[in-house]
């Protein structure tokens, strides 16, 4: 006969078991309610959406492609500002000044490009440095499931405690079920490698904090406009001017390969970069929702601490109750 | 009841009757406006966009940056001011009421160029063709929207066009008025019943995607062709 049976038998039940029951029920309720308190049912799906939207971009291959785009733009700008300018407007400072006057759209772009290049390269480096952290979070169970990892054991524990309190004669197996539940909670973070993955998720969230803001997205949108205008000047004014200066397309490609590379790759660059800006923009609110959750590195402990408490209380109370367990059972004293 | 209170009661009663009488007289003044409002069924045939003397004419749109302080320049615009993106009427001649005007399937070619060509011909926007369509189901919000409808009251034109969608680079940007969720206002403008000339304008904020937060300003002009 079990320890809970002793509790319900009443006559010889010491207060400790009733208290333990109450504590276990409270822990269960606490676990079940925690996701509501943390807004997990709202934030979890948003986090899952964010991870899903980032997925196409969070690979080294894709990010290397973005880095290549930036290098292509940079090389095209430098070549246009150097040998192309000299070809079209003459050498030296005077020639360059003429070039700037003739092609003000490109001149403005060239002027703006250095800080854009630095910022975007830094952004891509930052994202790329977090590919591993992102993969670690993806390997965890979906954010959508997270609240249920608290609710299900919490409700189960509360129901078991309630059942134990209501049922007059219960098997000690209830106690062991509760011990097993506690151990499961302790083991869950180990099974999901949360101790390694959650801190990585925390680092990813910290790193993305200055990136996933409306202000940063608008900055990126502004960069896009600046680059588009500059590339437009290059494509619609400078390349035609080179043709007008007597060069055919093969000669232009031979003499100014970086300019031509940028020109021919531009649509591909747009195809690639705009969805990334879109994903950044679409997930500002989702990021903020996830950032509103408790820090990631604490998550394993949200399982371990209640798990240890539950298993420990159930186990220890049973051990404490064992000597006086038999007389308290409804079946009466065990004959000696 | 004292004399004073009887007088007060009578006075209040008189005021109430006067208010009712005024309401009965005034109400019909507004009523003809509603009664005079009639539906326009047909196609708002567009005049091609142009730019001169520092102004846009005909059909064009502009993209306003978040914050509303500047316009996005399209280097491929034919206008001198590159922030004016000029439209050319498509195979339907313009914007039709009572039906949707989707593009072909797929909506984009391999390079992300939009293929819709009923309302306007695809135009180039930063090296990639964009276009517009009216779609029954908004690809962004997944909401089913009402079909385009128009009413005119005197010279005031009101057009509900919640399914108006810009398409570019493989992406959809709802530019409805009102938006698919019912927020925002319908497109408004002027209509000359004799000449059937119209001018229709609206703004619509982009929600989602690379241009999220931008606002599209649409200016459609032309001649209405009844069905």
Complex-level ipTM: 0.78
pLDDT at residue A172, rounded to an integer: 72
pLDDT at residue A314, rounded to an integer: 87
What are A81-91's pLDDT values in tens digits? 999 999 999 99
| Residue B67 exposed, middle or buried by CB count within 10 Å (0-12, 13-18, 19+) | exposed
* CB burial string B153-188: b at 16+ within 10 A, e below: eeeebbbbbbbbbbbbbbbbbbbbbbbbeeebebbe
CB contact (8 A) between residue A235 and residue B75: yes
A222 contacts in chain B (CB < 8 Å):
65
Taking one residue from A and the other from B, the number of pairs with CB-CB distance under 8 angstroms is 77
**How much of chain B exceeds pLDDT 70, in percent?**
85
Say if A235 is an interface residue toward chain B (CB within 8 Å).
yes
What are B10-52's pLDDT values in tens digits? 544 444 444 444 444 444 343 334 457 899 999 999 999 999 9
Confidence of residue A319 (pLDDT cuts 50, 70, 90): low
Residue A11 has pLDDT above 70, yes or no: no
What average pLDDT does range A74-103 have in this prediction?
96
What average pLDDT does range A190-200 have in this prediction?
95
pLDDT at residue A193, rounded to an integer: 95
pLDDT at residue A171, rounded to an integer: 55
CB contact (8 A) between residue B208 and residue A105: no
Residues linked to residue B45 through DSSP beta bridges, in sequence order: B94, B223
Confidence of residue A41 (pLDDT cuts 50, 70, 90): very high
* DSSP state for residue B67 in the 8-state scheme: T
Query: Which residues are CB-neighbours of A126 under 8 A, at least 6 positions away?
Result: A207, A211
CB contact (8 A) between residue A281 and residue B67: no
Q: Kindly state the helix (H) or strand (E) to which residue B187 belongs, with its residue range.
A: strand B187-191
pLDDT at residue B22, rounded to an integer: 43
Residue A226 has pLDDT above 50, yes or no: yes
What are B145-180's pLDDT values in tens digits? 999 999 999 999 999 999 999 999 999 999 999 999
How close, in Å, is residue B44 to chain A by CA atoms? Answer: 32
CB contact (8 A) between residue B112 and residue A228: no
Say if A177 is an interface residue toward chain B (CB within 8 Å).
no
How many C-alpha atoms does A152 have within 13 Å on its Cβ side? 8
Give me the residue from A228, A267, A277 closest to B75, CB to CB.
A228
Residue A306 has pLDDT above 50, yes or no: yes
A214 contacts in chain B (CB < 8 Å):
66, 213
What average pLDDT does range B64-71 have in this prediction?
93
CB contact (8 A) between residue A229 and residue B127: no
List C-alpha distances in Å: B3 to A269, A312, B14, B15, B169. 89, 87, 16, 18, 82
CB contact (8 A) between residue A235 and residue B126: no
CB contact (8 A) between residue B82 and residue A229: yes
Say if A214 is an interface residue toward chain B (CB within 8 Å).
yes
Residue A70 has pLDDT above 70, yes or no: yes
What are A246-284's pLDDT values in tens digits? 999 999 999 999 999 999 999 999 999 999 999 999 999
Q: Where are the beta strands (DSSP E) in B114-160?
A: 123-125, 128-134, 149-153, 156-160
Helix axes A40-54, A146-166, angle to 10 degrees: 150
Confidence of residue A168 (pLDDT cuts 50, 70, 90): low
**How much of chain A exceeds pLDDT 90, in percent?**
81
pLDDT at residue B177, rounded to an integer: 98
Average pLDDT, chain A: 88
**How much of chain A exceeds pLDDT 70, in percent?**
88
Residue B82 has pLDDT above 90, yes or no: yes
**In chain B, whose CA is at the least distance from the CA of A270?**
B169
Two structure tokens written together for A66: 């973005």
CB contact (8 A) between residue A231 and residue B126: yes
Residue A333 has pLDDT above 80, yes or no: no
Confidence of residue A18 (pLDDT cuts 50, 70, 90): confident
DSSP reduced 3-state for B39: strand
What average pLDDT does range B210-224 have in this prediction?
97
Q: Which of A118-127, A155-164, B24-33, B207-216 has the lowest mean pLDDT?
A: B24-33
CB contact (8 A) between residue B82 and residue A214: no
Confidence of residue A167 (pLDDT cuts 50, 70, 90): confident
Residue A223 has pLDDT above 70, yes or no: yes
Write down the residue that tokens 């020109």 correspond to. A263
Residue A4 has pLDDT above 50, yes or no: no
List C-alpha distances in Å: B15 to A65, B7, B11, B19, B28. 79, 12, 6, 6, 21
A231 contacts in chain B (CB < 8 Å):
75, 126-127
Say if A274 is an interface residue toward chain B (CB within 8 Å).
yes
Are the CB atoms for B198 and B45 separated by under 8 Å? no
Residue A7 has pLDDT above 70, yes or no: no
What are B177-190's pLDDT values in tens digits? 999 999 999 999 99
B205 contacts in chain A (CB < 8 Å):
none
The span from the CA of A167 to the CA of A1, in Å, is: 12
Sign of CA dihedral B217, B221, B226, B227: negative
CB contact (8 A) between residue A278 and residue B127: no
pLDDT at residue A335, rounded to an integer: 40
Other beta carbons within 10 Å of A296:
23
């Amino acid at each position: 006969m079990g320890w809970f049976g002793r509790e319900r038998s009443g006559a010889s039940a010491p207060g400790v078991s009733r208290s333990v029951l109450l504590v276990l029920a409270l822990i269960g309720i606490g676990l079940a309610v925690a996701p509501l308190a943390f807004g997990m049912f709202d934030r979890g799906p948003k986090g899952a959406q964010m991870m899903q939207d980032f997925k196409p971009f969070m690979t080294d291959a894709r990010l290397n492609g973005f880095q290549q785009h930036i290098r292509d733009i940079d090389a095209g700008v430098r070549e246009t500002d150097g040998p192309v300018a000299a070809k079209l407007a003459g050498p030296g400072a005077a020639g360059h000044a003429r070039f700037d006057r003739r092609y003000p759209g490109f001149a403005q772009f060239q002027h703006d490009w250095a800080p854009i290049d630095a910022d975007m390269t830094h952004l891509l480096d930052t994202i790329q440095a977090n590919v591993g952290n992102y993969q670690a979070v993806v390997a965890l169970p979906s954010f959508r499931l997270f609240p249920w990892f608290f609710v299900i054991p919490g409700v189960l524990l509360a129901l078991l405690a309630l059942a134990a309190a209501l049922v007059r004669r219960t098997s000690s197996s209830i106690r062991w079920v509760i011990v097993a539940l506690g151990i499961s909670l302790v083991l869950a973070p180990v099974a999901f490698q949360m101790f390694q993955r959650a801190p990585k998720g925390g680092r990813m969230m910290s790193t993305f904090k200055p990136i996933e803001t409306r202000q940063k997205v608008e900055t990126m949108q502004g960069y896009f406009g600046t680059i588009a205008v500059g590339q437009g000047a290059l494509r619609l004014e400078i390349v035609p001017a080179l043709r007008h200066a007597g060069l055919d397309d093969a000669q232009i490609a031979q003499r100014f390969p970086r300019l031509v590379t940028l020109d021919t790759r531009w649509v591909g660059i747009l195809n690639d970069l705009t969805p990334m800006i879109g994903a950044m923009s679409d997930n500002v609110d989702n990021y903020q929702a996830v950032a509103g959750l408790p820090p990631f590195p604490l998550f394993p402990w949200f399982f371990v601490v209640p798990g240890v408490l539950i298993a420990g209380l159930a186990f220890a109370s049973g051990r404490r109750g064992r000597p006086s367990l038999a007389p308290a059972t409804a079946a009466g004293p065990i004959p000696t | 009841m004292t004399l004073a209170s009887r007088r007060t009661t009578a006075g209040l009663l008189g005021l109430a009757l006067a208010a009712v009488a005024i309401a009965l007289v005034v109400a019909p003044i507004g009523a003809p406006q509603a009664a005079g409002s009639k539906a326009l069924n047909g196609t708002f045939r567009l005049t091609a966009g142009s730019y001169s003397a520092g102004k846009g004419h005909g059909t064009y749109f502009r993209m306003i940056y978040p914050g509303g302080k500047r316009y996005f320049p399209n280097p491929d615009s034919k206008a001198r001011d590159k922030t004016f993106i000029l439209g050319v009427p498509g195979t339907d001649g313009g914007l039709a009421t009572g039906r949707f005007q989707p593009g072909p399937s797929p909506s984009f070619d391999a390079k992300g160029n939009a293929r819709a060509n009923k309302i306007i011909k695809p135009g180039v926007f930063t090296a990639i063709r964009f276009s517009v369509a009216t779609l029954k189901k908004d690809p962004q919000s997944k909401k089913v929207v009402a079909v385009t409808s128009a009413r005119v009251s005197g010279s005031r034109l009101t057009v509900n066009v919640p399914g108006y969608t810009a398409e570019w680079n493989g992406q959809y940007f709802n530019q409805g008025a009102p938006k698919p969720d019912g927020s925002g206002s319908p497109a408004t403008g002027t209509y000359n019943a004799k000449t059937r000339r119209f001018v229709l304008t609206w703004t619509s904020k982009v929600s989602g995607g690379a241009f999220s937060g931008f606002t599209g300003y649409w200016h459609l002009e032309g001649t209405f062709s009844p069905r």
